[in-house]
Each structure stands twice: as C-alpha cells, then as structure tokens.
Amino acid sequence: MQRIYLDNCLTSKPDPQVVEAMMPYLTDHFYFPGNFISTGSLAKKAISDFKKTIAQSMNAEEQEIHLTSSGTAANNVGIKGYIMANADKGGHIICSEIDYPDILTNAAFFEESGFDVTYLGADKDGLINLDELQNAITNETILVMTTFANHVMGTIQPIKKISEIIKNKNTQTALFVDAGQAYGRMLIDVKELGIDMMSVSAHKIHGPQGAGALYVKKGINLSQTKHGIVRMDDLDTGGISMAALAGFAKAVEIQFKDLDNNIKYIRSLQNRLLEGIQKNIDHIYINGPIGENRICHNLNVSMDYIEGEAIMMMLDLAGITVATGSACASQGLKANYILMATGRNFVQSHGSMKFTLSKFNTENEIDYVIEKLTEIVKTLRERSPLTKN
C-alpha cells in the first residue's frame, strides 16, 4: 500500500492542479513584476490576480492582502510591524499560553524588549479564558494575538466573541489571528468576525511550500520590518517565488470552490477514525473538543501506558505518517506545552498522537490506520511496565 500521510497539520501534499499552475512560472514566465516592459507588466497583472483570489476567499479587498514567503513571514510582518507602528499608543500585549510558536516567540521578543505581556489561560478543551481577556485589556493594550484553530488540539477559538470583547473594552486595540490551521478548512469572513490582521499559509491547503499571505484591514498601519527592494510586496521585500504564488492562488481557488463538501468529507474521515479508535482501544483520552468546535482535519488522542514516539515509529514502519507530542518527537525533549497547559499530565502528553487528515485520504486508509494502530497499542502495552492488569 502507498504511504498513508496523516500529518497535514505540518504540511500537505500539493494538489496536481497546483503543480500544473506553477510550471509556466518555472519555465517561460519566470520574470518579476515591473513597469514599462511586457514581461514585467505580465507578472504585475498575475500578482494582482493572485491577491484577488486570496482576498475573495476571506471577504477582503485586494489591497488588504500582502503576499509573503511563508506563514511565519506573515506572522512576523504583521505582529512586529503593528507593534512597532503603534508602540506610542501603549506597551501592553495579550496572547495565550497555548498559541502557535510564532505568536509566543514574538510575544517573548517584545517582553524582553520591555513590553508588558499577558498570557491567558485555557480550559481542558483548549478554549482561551474570555473572562481573563476581558479583565486583561487596559488603555495600554495595543494588540491581542490568538490562534484561530489550535495546531495541537484542533480547538476553534470564538474569534467573533474575542473581537467584540476587545472593541468594547478598547477600540484602539487590534486583533491579530494566525489562521494557518483554519484557513481553507472552515469559512472565514474577516469583516464579519472583526479581524484586523490574519496570516495564512499555502502549503497547509495543498499549495506549495514557500508562500503565505497577510490580511491587513484597511486603515491599519504597519512599520517596515524587512528592508530591501520591493518586488512583490512592500512589507515582505525582496523576491518571492512567482511559481509558489501561482500555486498558492490555485490552491485557494480549488479549496474554496466547494468548501462545504470538502469540510464534510474530511469531517467524515475524522469521525470514522475517532469511532474506530474508541471501539478498538481502551484507556484513551480525546484532547480537545468533539464536534463543530474542533477543526475538521484534526484528531488528537492520548493513549495510556505507552509513549507516543514508539507508536509513531511503529506506524511509520507500517507506512503511516503521523505526529506525536511525545518527548523525543517534540523540540527540547519536553512534554507538549499545550497539552500540559490544558490539564494533561506527563503520561497523557507523552502518549498523545495527532492525526491530521486531508481530502486525499480515503476511508480504506483510515480503516487500515485503525487496524495497525490497534495492533501496535496492544503490542506496546504488553511490553510496558506501566500497564495495569
């Protein structure tokens, strides 16, 4: 059987149509945008079209979209750019303990630079504490940062409620959203949700690696964080792969053409996997909410008495790629910080498995994963000194 890939949280397989859309920009149309000459004008028109496609997918306007070389670049351009441009208005920033590393490392950077940072807590399902948010916002708060869909637990944050709390407390406070795991897997209307800035990434939705985008609401000012010659975008200066941007736009076009059915299909695979695990394996714990409050492609399960890294490696030998929060598979040989922050113990964190699905997965693949996972868990528990008789 061909390898079964269930680590789409990390990156996803490029759609064949995406690869096809990229090819002309790797061969004949390799040039950068420019003025007065036909090659430059052609590339300039293409960039405009790419932005329009991305903008339409989130109910934004073309001029509100900034193209970047990655989702991480979009996060840094947005967060650093906004804080630098608005530092004269206040020195307080808010995020949560369970945010994506891009947000947390930026928060730590500004905290070391003298800003006051509040880290909100979260409940057992990974929902941030809205009462803490309400109480934390002051006249000094210039930015609230959050992760739309949690990359570990799959939890979808109530972005509209968060935005309403912010604007009711301080109209000068902006909301930055990392939507890397949410974009293309749920409907996002930036105007309806009250989002000021939002980052997205191409390779999470079957686009190419090396392209991202940042939505910046009209009227929001950002300082320059990367200096150099402007090729594609005035905020992420320098060259960005035209082929990658073409692939990104094509991936967006495909993903949003029939978004509801895409979501329903992936959700059905998620439910099939969950039901199979619950039926065949005991002593498990589902990390994050079950149902509509969980992003459709993510399932995270802790399995008692065994290490997640052992499960991951044995699944790999069976031709299945998954992720784990277990010690040796995570940076720094530590238990997963999100699982620990939401009340899991070390055993549950180290025994966690994260399955992230895509439209390219099939029911037969899910059934095979359930079969092999059941066998592996049984074998490992028989060997484990932690197993209770």
Q: How far is CA 354 from the centre of its chain?
A: 14
* Catalytic residue, candidates 9, 95, 296, 328: 328
DSSP codes, 315-383: HHHTTEE-EE-SGGGSGGG---HHHHHTT--HHHHHTEEEEE--TT--HHHHHHHHHHHHHHHHHHHHH
What three-state secondary structure class fits 25?
A: helix
Residue 27's CB is within 10 A of a number of other CB atoms, namely 9
Whole-Å CA distances, 86 to 3, 91, 193: 48, 9, 22
Measured in degrees and rounded to the nearest 5, phi and psi for residue 211 equal -150, 140
Q: Which amino acid is it at 267?
A: R
175 DSSP β-pair partners: 144
| 3 state SS of 49 | helix
Active site residue 296: no
Q: Say how far residue 304 (Cα) sits from the centre of its chain.
A: 27
Rounded Cα distance between 164 and 169, Å, is 8
Residues with catalytic roles: 328
